[in-house]
Amino acid sequence: MKRLLLILLVLLLSLSAFAQQDYVPRYDVFTGFSYLNSPKLNLVGRGFNGEFGVNVNRWLALGADYSVFAGHSSLLPSELTPAIQTQLSGITLPPGYVLQVPYDSTTWTFSAGPQVNYRHFNKVTLWVRPALGIMHEGVTAKPADPIQTAIVAGLVPTGKKSDNVIFYGAGWGFDANASKHVALRVGFDFVHVNLFDGFLKEGRNSLRMSIGPTWRFGKNVE
């Protein structure tokens, strides 16, 4: 997927006229499909991303970003804190039994801040931005056998756990300008987050990819 997007970007740049964009709208609205990957937990979420921006000038915009994802994975003892791993090590398991607990997750993010736009090419707008905001994650355990059920009852009696933390990182991407008012946006955000501190052994890095249409409107920014 990354290689395909890179090839697409190169082709777009090669086809772009070298004249700068003559119309920069005051407002920009994006909605699209989004994909959140946290490799350390083997957790993938799919969902929606929406953004709203105001172009302060031709290269600087201020905006807000919201996304929501649903996913599922399985939690392994090695992903828990050393104290919890020690607690679990005293449990006698059947020969060949691999301990893991399936779960469903719902994750949403909210961020706001600046974005720097590079408009040298007529058909493509390149952009970068810091990624700083709040991430919420809610997890519901889905034990599949009596052993998993007993472990969930001991560690998380309600079977549910949630947390809110600050995330930080960086974002980048491009808009393929179909017209003055419509573009196709492809964006990436790489962030670090430390959810469920005291339960999970360590924080994790996550990569969000979003793709969808962008609508531009308003007075031309001089």
CA-CA distance, 96 to 74, in Å (whole number)? Answer: 18
Which of the 8 DSSP states describes residue 39? G
In this structure, are residues 214 and 183 in contact, taking their beta carbons and an 8 Å threshold?
yes
In this structure, are residues 135 and 114 in contact, taking their beta carbons and an 8 Å threshold?
no
CA-CA distance, 160 to 105, in Å (whole number)? Answer: 10
Per-residue pLDDT tens digits for 10-37 = 545 544 444 568 889 999 999 999 999 9
Q: For the chain, which residues make up each domain, given as ranges? A: 2-17+25-217
Give backbone dihedrals phi and psi of 178, rounded to 5 degrees, phi first. Answer: -75, -35
CA-CA distance, 133 to 112, in Å (whole number)? Answer: 7
If one looks up domain 2-17+25-217 in CATH, what number appears? 2.40.160.20
CA-CA distance, 128 to 81, in Å (whole number)? Answer: 35
What share of the chain has pLDDT > 90, as a percent?
Answer: 86
Single pTM value for the model? 0.86
CA-CA distance, 164 to 110, in Å (whole number)? Answer: 11
Compute and round to an integer the Cα radius of gyration of the chain: 22
Sequential DSSP letters for 98-144: PP-EEEEEEEEEEEEEEEEEE--SSSEEEEEEEEEEEEEEEEEE---
Q: Is 84 left (phi over 0), alpha (psi -120 to 50) or beta?
A: alpha
CA-CA distance, 81 to 106, in Å (whole number)? Answer: 22
Q: Which amino acid is at 90?
A: G
SS3 of 82, please? helix
| Per-residue pLDDT in tens (0 to 9) along the chain, 222 residues | 556 455 555 545 544 444 568 889 999 999 999 999 999 999 999 999 999 999 999 999 999 999 999 999 999 999 999 999 999 988 899 999 999 999 999 999 999 999 999 999 999 999 999 999 999 999 999 999 999 999 999 999 999 999 999 999 999 999 999 999 999 999 999 999 999 999 999 999 999 999 999 999 999 997
What is the pairing mode between strands 60-75 and 43-55?
antiparallel
